[in-house]
Structure 1
Amino acid sequence: MATQLIAGGNGPVPETTLIIRVKSAIAADVSAFRLDANGKTQSDDDFIFYGQKQSNDRSVLLLTEGDNSSFSVNLSALPASVQKVAFTITPEAGHNIQTLRTLGISVEVNGKPHLTCPVDLNGRNEAALILGELYRRNSEWKFRFVAQGFNGGLQPLAEHFGVTIDAPTEEVSKPAPVPPPAPAAKPINLSKVTLTKEQPSVNLTKPVNLSKGQGFGRIRVNLNWNQASGGGFFSKLNAIDLDLGAYVRFKDGHQDLVQALGNRFGDYQNVPFVHLEADDRSGSASEGEWLNINGAKWDDIAEVVIFAFIYKGVPNWAKTDGVVTLQLPEQPPIETRLNADGGSQSMCAIARLENINNTLKVERLNAYFGGHEPMDKAYGWGFNWRAGSK
């Protein structure tokens, strides 16, 4: 049975891979900070958040986001210099902690709750909260329930832990000449684009700092979800297995399909210039599924439609907590959530990437269908479909 802590309380944890789960009634951004003995990050790689979802050695991973967020922390893989890992939450801009309505952080071991920490939100008007921390004590690891408020949101919170944040430079009329700055690590950018019904699309131009001929560079598409509708994140009970796929149409009229079903994994360097990374057929992939689009070939592509289907499990999109994130060089992450109720439909057309005069328009679709054929008919692809397996 899990132990419930009160704010300020602590409990031992085994030196293994833990799941740190943060649940709230309203979706919010969570972050983790790997800290030294002075409570500071040693580099900006120690800041794990929506724009940088893993530490450089992958000992800390941001697995899921939204109202049911989770981190994987491999304690045995953390460098000796890391003495703490702090976990925080920040609501949307203009909101405070109390607007989350309910909030809790828990530690899971082998898919089962080990420590639970419900947060009392009465009277909490802070813009951020340090929820808890894993810390070393006499060569052993413990978890402390902190629940400490922090005013100012994610940027001052990150700077408090020693992270360098990229900020717009204010213009001045006649700047005085100064010597060129010494080379420094590229600061962290906190920008993020969330596509919604109210703001369903964003237009991107090619990055100016990429080498000539690289176009938009490598476009990475991630689908992540809560793979177990009950129990812990890695529970096999009622597990939901989502498969990521893409329809690709070229300007010359050629069409292609990339998905695990039928072993159509595509190719990054050759047509269709879209590649699905190896499908995890166990249904327990901690980072979800990844699709790579060769942005250097974007001028040849007319559109890419990203879709997902429930290969295993009872269709219930509302419970998947699914989120799709696009990562492009020199661009903020672009995310769209599968938070609409798709009923008993097994397919979801998630987003369309459209070539408009060689720029890239990303459009949220979130349209649900009973299978491949009705989705094909809705978008006029014209493929011949038959039953398949993977």
Structure 2
Amino acid sequence: MTPGSNIPLTATTVTVDVSAPVRLDVSGLLLTADGKVRSDDDFIFYNQPTGAGVTYRSGGGSAPDAIVVDTASVPAQIEKIVVTASPDAAGQTFQGIEPTATVRGADGQVLATFTPPQLGAETALVVVEVYRRNGAWKARAVGQGYANGLAGIATDFGVSVEEEPAAAAPAPAAAPAPAPAAPDPRAAMSVSYT
């Protein structure tokens, strides 16, 4: 496949795996007609592996991670499942990495492959879309990179991303409060000098 090209999907269950010479985090976002998720539950990844008709599958070891779409179970208001990938190592870009998405039918048969061209400083990538058009399902090659990582993709599609709080500078140590002085017994005396 080339960027923007699509194929019809006749299988009810399709798997999109994304392989590369480095470990990738693969995820899926279920989008409505407005291009947004309904809630954070529509963001499917290793910490939230199941959603409405969509499942994250860990490749484990040398096998690539994948998003599995059961088109018969995807809710009617979901028009598109976006499959994303990002290098697992913090701060790593796609420079010199050629990820390949493989779309497979239920029997494992390869329906299409796609290697996004000319990647560089991107830290995350929308690889493939599985989408519904006039009641039929298709897969489209995308290859759109993001320089602001998976959080940038997720935010663009309406997922609430909680940023790690910045480490606050330690507050200066306050000087210990002086201990209250012991009452001076002389204070109770009234002395008058005239």
TM normalised by structure 1 equals 0.40
Task: Give structure 1 stretches of 5+ with no counterpart.
Answer: 173-390
2:57 aligned with 1:60: no
Please give the per-residue CA displacement for 1:293-344, whole angstroms capped at 9, x wherever unaligned: xxxxxxxxxxxxxxxxxxxxxxxxxxxxxxxxxxxxxxxxxxxxxxxxxxxx
Structure scoring higher RCO (CA < 8 A, sep ≥ 6) equals 2
User: Number of matched residues?
Assistant: 165
The runs of 4+ residues in structure 1 deviating greater than 6 Å are: none
**Structure 1 residue 10 displacement after superposition:** 0.5
Larger radius of gyration: 2
**2: CA distance, partners of 1:89 / 1:21:** 10
1:148-203 CA distance string (max 9 Å, x none): 1111111121111101122345669xxxxxxxxxxxxxxxxxxxxxxxxxxxxxxx
**What are the residue-to-residue correspondences of 1:263-274 with 2, within 5 Å?**
none
When residues 95 and 37 of structure 1 are mapped into structure 2, their CA distance, relative to the original with a 3 A threshold, is same
Shift of 1:46: 0.4
**Which position in structure 1 is the counterpart of 2:108?**
111
Quick one: distance in 2 between partners of 1:19 and 1:126? 24
> Which amino acid in 2 is paired with 1:60?
V
- Inter-CA distance 139–166: structure 2 relative to 1 (3 Å threshold): same
Partner of 2:76: 80
* Whole-angstrom distance in 2 between the partners of 1:87 and 1:123: 17
- Contact kept, 8 Å, 1:15 with 1:76, in 2: the verdict is no
Counterpart Cα distance in 2 of 1:108 and 1:77: 18
Summarize deviations over 1:197-221 as a string: whole Å, max 9, x none: xxxxxxxxxxxxxxxxxxxxxxxxx
Partner of 2:65: 69
Quick one: which amino acid aligns to residue 161 of structure 1?
Answer: F
**Residue in structure 1 matching 2:155, options 132, 156, 159:** 159
Superposed CA offset, 1:275-299 (max 9, x none): xxxxxxxxxxxxxxxxxxxxxxxxx
Q: How much has 1:15 moved relative to structure 2? A: 5.0
Structure 1, residues 340-368: CA drift from partner, whole Å, max 9, x if none? xxxxxxxxxxxxxxxxxxxxxxxxxxxxx
* Amino acid corresponding to residue 11 of structure 1 in structure 2: I
The whole-number CA distance in structure 2 between the counterparts of 1:123 and 1:17 is 30
Give, in angstroms, the shift of residue 137 of structure 1: 0.8
CA distance in structure 1 between the partners assigned to 2:8 and 2:147 by the alignment: 30
Q: What percentage of aligned pairs have identical amino acids?
A: 34
Tell whether the 8 Å contact from 1:22 to 1:70 is kept in structure 2 after alignment: yes
RMSD value, Cα = 2.0
Q: Distance in 1 between matches of 2:49 and 2:131?
A: 21
Question: What is the CA distance between 1:118 and its match in structure 2?
Answer: 2.2
Q: Gapped runs of 5+ residues in structure 2? A: 170-194
Aligned to 2:189: none
With over 3 angstroms needed to count, the CA separation of the structure-2 counterparts of 1:123 and 1:105, relative to structure 1, is closer
Paired residue type of 2:76: A
